[in-house]
Structure 1
Amino acid sequence: MSTRQDLSTGSKWEPIIGYCRAVKIGNSIFVSGTTGTDPATGQVAKGDVYAQAKQALANITAALAKLGATHNDIVRTRIYLVDVKRDWEQASKAHGELFTTSRPATSLVGVAALIDDDMLVEIEADVVLSA
């Protein structure tokens, strides 16, 4: 039987909503929707979807490192954008810069809003670790 490992970042939202940044079970890791919040400042790059997407991916990569994985182990991402028509190219650029050789299956979805009006993008990731 696989052991479950929960990774918390200490975000103020985790206990309120009842989630953790990532869950590892066996060779699978599931990363919660991650925004471009800078962990050092608690702020997002207001109005800059590219910078927010880069930070969200950096936050995901940092979480994976704590669970023994890298971005190359990601098999699926989901990118949620508040204004998909305006921002898809900049968010996609940030995504494409990270995934140059190991490209995950990806969805790009427009949403009505995120939890904070300054947040423009949220990204989820699924990982399968090689045996």
Structure 2
Amino acid sequence: MTTDRINISSGSPREPVLGYSRAVRVGDLVVVAGTTSGGVGETAEEQTREIFARIEKALGDAGATLADVIRTRVYLTDFERDFDAVGAVHGELFGDIRPVTATVGTSALAGATTLVEVEVDAYLLRD
């Protein structure tokens, strides 16, 4: 059985330098790399909304939607302060979809003002 691999780029000049893709699709599986807001937004909520817009674009480029997401991973630099705000945005987007998720506190993320990073896995269940 042969399954083609499709690398999806966001167009970021960092991708070829660092050797990664924004997303990769293999068969019906789509994995989206850790995504930040790229400096958009001052609060964790604002950054999370921008992050999910970027993730939704990557999923769309791979032929998927947020409805196909089966797992999310959320990284926060200030877990206590930002968990509820980020969780509220996650709940708005995934309340009916309900993927599995993990939220992790970390001391730093790429970029001095980055408060949130998210990665997702999706599986296309439709025909």
Shared fold per TM-score greater than 0.5: yes
Deviation at 1:18? 1.0
RMSD: 1.0
Is the contact between residue 44 and residue 119 of structure 1 (CA under 8 Å) also seen in structure 2? no
Q: Structure 1, residues 76-103: CA drift from partner, whole Å, max 9, x if none?
A: 0000001111110111111111112111
* Structure 2 counterpart of 1:14, one-letter code: E
Gaps of 5+ in 2: none
* Structure 1 counterpart of 2:29, one-letter code: S
After superposition, where does 1:12-51 map in structure 2 within 5 Å? 12-37=13-38, 43-46=39-42, 48-51=43-46
Moved over 4 A (4+): none
TM-score, normalised with respect to structure 1: 0.91
Residue 20 of structure 1 aligns to a residue whose secondary structure is coil
Aligned position for 1:3: 4
**In 2, Cα distance between equivalents of 1:105 and 1:24:** 19
TM-score, normalised with respect to structure 2: 0.94
Say if 2:54 is the partner of 1:62. Answer: no
**Which range is displaced more, 58-67 or 10-19?**
10-19
Give the paired residue count. 125
Is the contact between residue 34 and residue 60 of structure 1 (CA under 8 Å) also seen in structure 2? yes
Deviation at 1:67? 1.1
Gaps of 5+ in 1: 38-42
Residue 69 of structure 1 aligns to a residue whose secondary structure is coil
**In 1, Cα distance between equivalents of 2:101 and 2:34:** 14
Deviation at 1:115? 1.1
Say if 2:117 is the partner of 1:129. Answer: no
Q: Structure 1, residues 8-59: CA drift from partner, whole Å, max 9, x if none?
A: 111132123210100000010000001122xxxxx3212x100100111111
- Paired-residue identity, %: 42
**Which range is displaced more, 75-84 or 8-17?**
8-17
